[in-house]
Amino acid sequence: MTPEYTVHVPRTIAEVFKSLPEGTPAQLIENNIVMEPAPTYYHQDILMEISTQLFNYVKKCSLGKVLVAPLDVYLGRRNVFQPDILFISNERLSFIQKDGLHGAPDLVIEILSPATGKYDLEEKKDVYERYGVKEYFIIEQGTHSVQSYYLVNDYFKEMEDKNGEINSRLLNICVHF
């Protein structure tokens, strides 16, 4: 007798996204699957510089966890992002599950890439605001300019920052890169 196999055919974009092989460079942004090329050397260099400083500080002060992409961050049913760098406070560590983070990180840093920068500046920024990310930093690779957003009364307020510097009020640290 031949065994029968049941094949589950994805019926939603979210199910298609979940069926992608592990490590597929993709995000679910407002119910659209967005594929991404590998980051550039400059992107990775900035990511390592910032994440190392944050990681060491957060660990030394026992504030929570600093994590880097690729890690799926689930924000509702229509959005699964992979922020470049994120911080999750001790109070929110329960958001971490086997398949990623289910809920808003406290802090997110995105390093703009030519292929996906539009999403970081528009759709993802709006979703981060809607889900209560307390601080959101966007870095331009070439100039090291930083756009800083702080959640004030459920809305992002843009603050002025210097090039090559992230000033986190939440963590009380200034990171230079």
- Give the residue extent of every domain in the chain: 13-176
In this prediction, residue 95 carries a pLDDT of: 97
Take residue 63 and report the two structure tokens written for it: 């504030």
User: Tokens 């990681």 identify what position?
Assistant: 55
In this prediction, residue 2 carries a pLDDT of: 64
**Which whole-number Å values give the CA distances from 40 to 34, 36, 47, 57, 111, in the listed order?**
18, 11, 11, 26, 11
How do beta strands 64-68 and 146-152 pair?
unpaired
pTM of the model: 0.91
Residue 25 CA to residue 27 CA, distance in Å, equals 7
- The distance from CA 116 to its chain's CA centroid, rounded to whole angstroms, is 13
Residue 38 CA to residue 56 CA, distance in Å, equals 26
Q: What is the CATH number of domain 13-176?
A: 3.90.1570.10
Exposed e or buried b per residue across 5-32, where buried means at least 16 C-beta atoms within 10 angstroms of its C-beta: eeeeeeeeebeebeeeeeeeebbbbeee
In this prediction, residue 1 carries a pLDDT of: 62
In this prediction, residue 166 carries a pLDDT of: 97
- Cβ-contact 66, 58 below 8 angstroms: yes
pLDDT in 10s for each residue of the chain, 177 residues: 666 776 666 678 999 999 899 888 899 999 999 998 889 999 999 999 999 999 999 999 999 999 999 999 999 999 999 999 999 999 999 999 999 999 999 999 999 988 889 999 999 999 999 999 999 999 999 999 999 999 999 999 999 878 999 999 999 999 999
Residue 46 CA to residue 51 CA, distance in Å, equals 8
